A and B are shown apart, each in its own frame.
Chain A
Amino acid sequence: MSLWLLAFLPPFTAALLLLRLLGAPPWRSLGSILCRASLATGLALGVTSCTYFAWLAACGSAGAGYVATEALLFAACAAGCGYRLWARGGRALRFAAGQGPRRSARLLLGVAFVAVAAVALADLLQLVAHNPHGAYDSVLLWNLRARFLYRGDARWTDVVSDTIHPVTHPDYPLLLPATVARLWTYQGHEDLLVRQAVTVLFTLALAGLLIGAVGLLRGTSQGLAAGMVLLGTPFFLVLASAQVADVPLGLYFLGTVVGLVLHERSDGDRRGWLCLAGLMAGLAAWTKNEGILFLGVVVLAWKVSCRDRGWQPLCRDLVAFGLGLAPVLVVVIYFKLWLAPPNDILAGQGAATWARLSDPARYRQIASAYLQASYRVLPALFLLLPAYFVLLGRPPRSARAPGAALAALTAGLMLAGYGAVYLVTPHYLGWHLETSLDRLLVQLWPLVLFAFFLVTATPEEALERRRPARQLATAQPPAEVQALSGTAR
């Protein structure tokens, strides 16, 4: 077994136990397995990138001392979570979604999903094998930094200073490079395979989280349908193989929204999910600059989607969200204020900003680029999803999941935020749109699919519609969340 795999397993185990402690459902359905494993993967990779960075910032370089200290830290975390679970028992959410009589529909969809997933995996592995160094952007931005972090000793800060060529964007956060450099530190040497494995791991975690979260909230068949659309999106797979940070960012975007939705769907005091959502949002900010915009957007969307709630409970919830966010935010703030040079877009603002804002041609150009890029990169948005919605329709009122508004609003506000950045960019607008918009759309694609499959009827629900009213009245209520107060060790 490779040493980098050993570097992954202890934090992954600690994250699994932490999620169980927060109330994650036990390993009883595909949805709960995928949801837990995917969130734990994102947490393990993200949190360890922070610990690696903190060690570098404090000690200059990482070696055997770092490996030993980190092993102790995660062993202690795992032991602490394990003890708490044993002492008071995990409080689990139970989801009874989509357990209708139509097992044949789920079976057929399962077979179809396996076919689509197999083709997607073959695509991904082939693309990764053809491009061991990733794409141009990954070399320029992410893998170059990983090399500096690993090879640079005390001079690793050169890669985030203004002495390096500005086209490498030295102000970008370090989650992905620190993850790769940390695994190389465990391995003892650089290995292209590590970067490829990290890419594949993030991609599978994102697909798994979408399938698992939709599966938990709306039933296994709906989760599989969502996964099929994501894995069937060619540009998602191309981008995943490019070793860029947009797929990890998509994972943290979705993880944040899923954490908030699970909190909304749970009974009683479950602020642990809010801490998790805050932690995932912090990791998004530690992945890319877009994640910093996301922090503000997701809180705003959350407030708007829970507008019937008073300020007092909302403030209590925000404190819990902030508790999860704070440790990672400290890392991001330290990096931004003490190490990184100013961001090129912010530094390029001044007298010309008003002229850019008042130029109607820029608005037209951005709107046109949004439409064209969406059609090119996400064809399912225009062809497949509308047809699917017309065929299956809306779910019954009792099964509607409230998280859809939060996810859709977050994606919409993020698009608006990106549009505002394009509007004031000091770079040539055509170049800026051409080099980034495709990737930005893919970051938000999982959120869009999450929202879509929450508001579309599952195959079971669509089939149920033709059953007589008498039978419907006795049918099992879909997507109900119940709190179990018993032990679930």
Chain B
Amino acid sequence: MLTNARVMLGGLLLTGMALAWGVGLYRQSAALGFRFQDLEDAPVYEERLGRLREMLPRHATVGYVDDFPAGPLDTPGKFLLTQYVLAPVLVVPGPHQPLVIRNMHRPQNQPLTAAERRWTLVEDLGNGVHLYRTETD
């Protein structure tokens, strides 16, 4: 009888905890719309920069400057998101390329520097994203 009870208790414990943890995760993810950090705007970037990808040569290398704070764990979050969307175009941090993406989340607070004012605007993609040509013909 005692053995029966122990086995039953073991089974209940296993089932109860597995169900409790599973249901807890479901409720949490349903209520909060659980999303991994810093990827909320991945679909927005796909749409916005997707146009840019079609404009750029397939194997171009472009520079990149932004005013975003570092991403999760100090990684350059928006830079990497840009690289992800534009692949196989290579995106290199800094303005030292013939073509440069300028991605400013507060454009009004980030006026062009003196050097940047000599660049030629190729495309304004909206929301502070611009493609510039840094070399003059």
A interface residues, Cβ below 8 angstroms from B: 105, 108-109, 112, 115-116, 119-120, 122-123, 126-127, 130-136, 139-140, 143-144, 147-148, 151-153, 155-156, 158-159, 163-165, 167-168, 225, 228-229, 231-234, 237-238, 242, 379-380, 383-384, 387-388, 391-392, 431, 434-435, 459, 462-463, 465-466
A231:B42 contact, CB within 8 angstroms = no
Q: Which of B17-25, B97-105, B106-114, B122-130 contacts A (4 or more CB under 8 A)?
A: B17-25
List, in ascending order, chain A residues with CB within 8 A of B91's CB. Answer: 165
A152:B13 contact, CB within 8 angstroms = no
Q: Is B35 an interface residue (CB 8 A)?
A: yes
Q: Say which residue of A130, A136, A237, A463 sits within 8 Å of B7 (CB atoms).
A: A463
List, in ascending order, chain A residues with CB within 8 A of B72's CB. Answer: 136
Q: Is B81 an interface residue (CB 8 A)?
A: yes
B interface residues, Cβ below 8 angstroms from A: 2-4, 6-7, 9-11, 13-15, 17-19, 21-26, 29-30, 33-39, 42-43, 58-59, 61, 71-77, 79-81, 83-84, 87-88, 90-93
B88:A147 contact, CB within 8 angstroms = yes
A123:B3 contact, CB within 8 angstroms = no
Interface centre among A139, A144, A380, A431 (most CB of B within 10 A): A139
Shortest CB distance A422–B (Å) = 16
- Complex-state Cα separation, A133 to B80, whole angstroms: 13
Select from chain B the residue with minimum beta-carbon distance to A456: B10
- Complex-state Cα separation, A134 to B43, whole angstroms: 12
Shortest CB distance A258–B (Å) = 22
- Complex-state Cα separation, A431 to B73, whole angstroms: 8
A116:B22 contact, CB within 8 angstroms = yes
Tell me what chain A mostly uses at the interface: helix, strand, loop, or mixed. Answer: helix
- Complex-state Cα separation, A459 to B10, whole angstroms: 9
B19:A119 contact, CB within 8 angstroms = yes
B88:A165 contact, CB within 8 angstroms = no
CB pairs A–B below 8 angstroms (21 shown): A105-B7, A116-B15, A116-B19, A119-B26, A130-B29, A133-B42, A136-B36, A139-B39, A140-B80, A148-B88, A151-B58, A156-B88, A158-B59, A163-B61, A164-B90, A232-B17, A383-B17, A388-B10, A391-B6, A392-B10, A463-B7
Q: Say which residue of B6, B10, B22, B90 sits within 8 Å of A231 (CB atoms).
A: B22
Select from chain A the residue with minimum beta-carbon distance to B25: A234
- Complex-state Cα separation, A465 to B22, whole angstroms: 33
B36:A135 contact, CB within 8 angstroms = yes
B84:A112 contact, CB within 8 angstroms = no
B19:A165 contact, CB within 8 angstroms = no
